[in-house]
Amino acid sequence: MKIELKNIHRSEKLSEETSAFSANLYINDIKAGIASNRGQGGATMYISFNEKGRQLIQQAEAWCSAQPQEKFTYKGKEYSNPVTLENFIDNLLAVHLQRKNLEKFKRKLGKDTQKGIAFGIPDQEYQILHFKMPIKGILEAPNGYEVLRNTIVKRVVPQMKEGEKILNTNIPEKILKDVGLGEHDYVRPGEESREITPKKGHGKKL
């Protein structure tokens, strides 16, 4: 069964204990109803548009209840929850918000890496060391190679912690290898992202 949320509208202002949102609920490509949450910790609600929507929602509820229970670990103990249409909708919303956060994170990272060296945990958080001119301009300068190399050696590598990488994809790989970094120490162009909720990067000027 195909269950989707479309035209999702989330209110950051109203989101307190839960995410306040409203969205159109589609079941098997048919607009069946509306799903929403007031953001005050209550349950996610859904209501049909018409009789056809009501029938589709009933079918979706039955389909969800027939799915294997969701298992999770909390404080070392394993638990399980039955699948309901409500928590299925909540999961769809969570994936949507993760994707939006990741897109925002990548846009900011893309801008920051034009004028600085970013290092941190991919798709989660990073620090940025800014230059006064774009990296592209530095690379075109006669001493650009040495400027980047020395900056990485003296200012970046000493601050990198376990699990962190250089996140720039606009620095020639030769420079990164010449300073002694392995392929696990930097992000390569085309590396896939994980679906996680990123945190904001923190910037400081070099």
Instruction: Answer yes or no: do 16 and 61 share one domain.
Output: yes
Number of domains in the chain: 2
33-73 tens-digit pLDDT: 999 999 988 999 999 999 999 999 999 999 999 999 988 88
Model pLDDT for residues 76-108, shown as the tens digit of each residue: 888 888 999 999 999 999 999 999 999 999 999
Tell me, yes or no, whether 10 and 74 share the same domain.
yes
- Residue 18 is assigned to a structural domain of this protein: yes
171 band by pLDDT with thresholds 50, 70 and 90: very high
Domain that holds residue 72: 3-101
**Interacting residues of 36 by C-beta distance below 8 A, sequence separation 6+:** 21, 22, 23, 44, 45, 46
Query: What does pTM read for this prediction?
Result: 0.76
With a cut of 90, say whether residue 189 has pLDDT above it.
no
